[in-house]
Amino acid sequence: MYPNQSNVSLPPNPKVPKGMERAYWYNSGEMREYIDAGPRFAKEGYGFLQPITEDDMRFHRQGYFAATTFVDVQIGKVMAALETYNFHTNTISLVWSDHGWHLGDTNSWGKCTNFETGTRNTLMWRIPNAPNPPSTGRLERTVEMVDLFPTLIDLAGLPPISACHGDQPPTTTCLQGTSYASLFGVGSTSQYNKSYAFSQWPYNNGKSGVIMGYTAKSDDGYRLTEYVHYADFVGDWTNILAREFYDYHNDPHETVNNVNETQYQQRISEMHSVMLCQFANKC
């Protein structure tokens, strides 16, 4: 597949964002461990300010696109089999992934970041006889992966599981997410309305120990990421080590960290309060 490598697209933003601190950049460690990828990264001196060559970018992107096309064909076979054996009218189908995957954008390869590509993932539903399917086949709404299980429970008509409150012991059966089955016209009449999606990813900062990167993406197109010391499963929010702020209206590819720009300070303050409520229970 994709035999002409020279026609394979390049990432729109192959460099790290301006204003990003080196300590919180992911050096694509997983990607560099692959047998066919590692030598290519090594020979080019890959680093914070040094992306791999365009030829090697195309090589890796070509392989990923081919793998994605192959998987797409297999999904098509499963869907066709459901129709062949008359299960398509009573089977909920879902295609999803637990993370995204960088293909050279922000000088990142792999999944371990708090950027848009690392935290945004595939999510496709097929719901037989949904009372209110989206007219375009696509819903432009903010949802989180913790919402998937409660949504599936509602869609399947199963008894609900109670919500978690704070840090629950592992023996407690509860759910942290919120069902969005109502977006398809199923279940509760209350409308799902999340304004933020949250993610986090740890960074081992040498002598400083583990640094946790927490991020919030708003439904109106902004992202705030904050880095704090992390120990015993708790972040130290008394000392923000670094911040990043991205405006997807003016900079959809995250080329500039706007955290110090005057016009964004009110929005940054608002989103910081939201993150304190979400991650530190300081509401």
* Residue 173 pLDDT level (bands cut at 50, 70, 90): confident
Residue 102 or 163, more confident: 102
- pTM recorded for the entire structure: 0.91
Q: What is the mean pLDDT of residues 165-173?
A: 70
Res 40: pLDDT: 87
How does the average pLDDT of the chain come out, rounded? 91
Q: How far apart are CA 19 and CA 150, in angstroms?
A: 39
Q: What is the mean pLDDT of residues 142-169?
A: 86
Bridge partners of 214, per DSSP, are 200, 226
pLDDT of residue 204 exceeding 80: no
Its sign, for the CA torsion 125, 82, 158, 135, is: positive
Q: How far apart are CA 280 and CA 277, in angstroms?
A: 6
Residue pair 221/146 in contact (Cβ under 8 Å)? The answer is no
Percentage of the chain lying above the pLDDT 70 cut = 95
* Residue 186 pLDDT level (bands cut at 50, 70, 90): confident
Q: How far apart are CA 68 and CA 180, in angstroms?
A: 27
pLDDT tens column, 220-269: 999 999 999 998 888 999 999 999 999 999 999 999 999 999 999 999 99
